[in-house]
């Protein structure tokens, strides 16, 4: 009979000890849901990049991108249907003022992407004051009339316009003369119009006294942030990594957005032109290199404008009488 050497005896003992230990399954990734504000577009590019490149998986997250519905992303977040949502700064300010549990946690764009537009070549429209008495094609937002009237008044006009709710494409309405002016998101709709060789005149809000805003933001809720702080932090930091990657690798990022959209995006030229505009206009990343961070001064100025114009109302629909503490409407803590 062969005798075990001392070394063999030790190895056998170690193997037996390891075999007798219980095994532990690797913890499952945390489920996170984000609701879109519209069909997939370049405002969402960092999310699709983070998912495709594995940034979320590396952070221990399983991220589900919820499709756009008629219910706003902020409402879905406030009601716990989604953990995060794509929204606008104006919508978030108004929803939170009205009692909604919604808070800005990431600034997708660093400066205003919207424009007031009219059909190019019109000799009767040189500046906003020329819009007095003309017809505006609107979208039903309570802040639209305040915005437009203020721009016209700040340019020396009265601010009196006719308003109709659009039931067709804004550009078609401009072309057929049923409206004189409307609003657009330049970095998507405006780029599409340029690719179609449409002649469009544009006014920047901030050139006529309207506070600049971070048009597109990501929101969450105090309830979710309290219950899942570390998951929220992991999500926001992986998302910032996705947006940063999209700025540094635009062609690859656009391809990832298109492939991840499940057929919703078919116009590659538009996607790539839009991303180019977002990068060159320093929307996703400011000239100072800021990406994702929310600007307290912009939130304060825009909130004050909405307050002064009676746009911020409480849960009962009554205009707020006291200015809220707007610093509670957002947080940059998840970026740190």
Mark which of 164, 189, 208 sits at the end of a domain. 208
pLDDT tens column, 259-277: 999 999 999 999 999 999 9
What pLDDT is attached to residue 167? Answer: 75
pLDDT tens column, 283-327: 999 999 999 999 999 999 999 999 999 999 999 999 999 999 999
Residue 108 domain flag: yes
Q: Is residue 322 exposed (0-12), middle (13-18) or buried (19+ Cβ within 10 Å)?
A: exposed
Residue 137 has pLDDT above 50, yes or no: yes
**Domains identified in the chain, total number:** 2
Beta-strand relationship, 216-220 and 84-88: antiparallel
Mark which of 208, 236, 265 sits at the end of a domain. 208
How far is the C-alpha of 142 from the C-alpha of 94, rounded, in Å?
Answer: 10
What pLDDT is attached to residue 4? Answer: 41
Q: How would residue 169 be classed by pLDDT, with cut points 50, 70 and 90?
A: confident
Q: What's the domain range around 190? A: 115-208
Q: Check whether residue 321 and residue 245 sit in a common domain.
A: yes
pLDDT tens column, 9-66: 444 443 444 444 444 346 799 999 999 999 999 999 999 999 999 999 999 999 999 9
Q: How would residue 242 be classed by pLDDT, with cut points 50, 70 and 90?
A: very high
Q: Check whether residue 100 and residue 240 sit in a common domain.
A: yes
Q: Check whether residue 181 and residue 310 sit in a common domain.
A: no
Residue 335 has pLDDT above 60, yes or no: yes
% of residues, the chain, pLDDT over 90 = 89
- CA distances 192 to 32, 108, 110, 169, Å, are 32, 20, 21, 12
Task: State mean pLDDT over 102-121.
Answer: 97
Residue 6 domain flag: no
- Regarding predicted confidence, which is higher, 168 or 252? 252
Q: Check whether residue 306 and residue 236 sit in a common domain.
A: yes
Q: Check whether residue 201 and residue 181 sit in a common domain.
A: yes
Q: Check whether residue 293 and residue 164 sit in a common domain.
A: no
Q: Check whether residue 120 and residue 190 sit in a common domain.
A: yes
pLDDT tens column, 76-99: 999 999 999 999 999 999 999 999
Q: Check whether residue 194 and residue 127 sit in a common domain.
A: yes
Q: How would residue 113 be classed by pLDDT, with cut points 50, 70 and 90?
A: very high
Q: Check whether residue 54 and residue 147 sit in a common domain.
A: no
Mark which of 160, 181, 208 sits at the end of a domain. 208
Q: Check whether residue 37 and residue 64 sit in a common domain.
A: yes
Residue 3 domain flag: no
Residue 221 domain flag: yes
Residue 233 has pLDDT above 80, yes or no: yes
Task: State mean pLDDT over 156-172.
Answer: 91
Residue 289 domain flag: yes
CA nearest to 257, candidates 64, 65, 47: 47
The enclosing domain of 322 has a CATH number of: 3.40.190.10
Task: Give me the count of residues in the chain.
Answer: 336
Residue 7 has pLDDT above 50, yes or no: no
């Amino acid at each position: 009979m062969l005798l075990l050497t001392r070394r063999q005896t030790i190895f056998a003992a170690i193997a037996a000890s390891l075999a007798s230990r219980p095994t532990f399954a690797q913890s499952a990734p945390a489920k996170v849901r984000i609701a879109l504000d519209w069909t997939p577009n370049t405002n969402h590019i960092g999310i699709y990049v983070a998912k495709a490149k594995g940034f979320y998986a590396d952070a221990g997250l399983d991220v589900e991108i919820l499709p756009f519905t008629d219910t706003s992303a902020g409402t879905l977040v406030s009601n716990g249907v989604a953990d995060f949502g794509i929204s606008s700064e104006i919508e978030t300010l108004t929803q939170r003022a009205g009692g909604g549990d919604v808070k800005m946690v990431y600034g997708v764009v660093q400066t205003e992407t919207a424009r007031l537009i009219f059909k190019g070549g019109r000799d009767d429209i040189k500046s906003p004051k020329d819009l007095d008495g003309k017809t505006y094609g609107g979208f039903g937002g309570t802040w639209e009339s305040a915005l437009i009237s203020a721009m016209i008044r700040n340019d020396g006009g009265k601010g009196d316009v006719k308003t109709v709710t659009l039931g067709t494409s804004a550009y078609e309405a401009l072309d057929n003369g049923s409206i004189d002016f409307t609003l657009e998101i330049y970095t998507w709709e405006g780029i599409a119009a340029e690719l179609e060789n449409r002649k469009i005149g544009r006014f920047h809000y901030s050139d006529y006294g309207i506070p600049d805003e971070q048009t597109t933001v990501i929101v969450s809720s105090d309830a979710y942030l309290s219950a899942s702080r570390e998951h929220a932090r992991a999500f926001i930091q992986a998302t910032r990594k996705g947006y940063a990657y999209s700025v540094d690798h635009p062609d690859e990022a656009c391809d990832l957005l298109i492939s991840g959209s499940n057929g919703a995006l078919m116009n590659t030229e538009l996607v790539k032109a839009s991303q180019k505009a977002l990068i060159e206009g320093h929307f996703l990343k400011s000239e100072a290199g800021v990406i994702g961070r929310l600007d307290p001064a912009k939130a304060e100025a825009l909130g004050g404008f909405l307050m002064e114009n009676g746009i911020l109302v409480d849960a009962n629909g009554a205009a707020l009488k006291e200015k809220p503490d707007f610093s509670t409407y957002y947080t940059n803590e998840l970026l740190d």
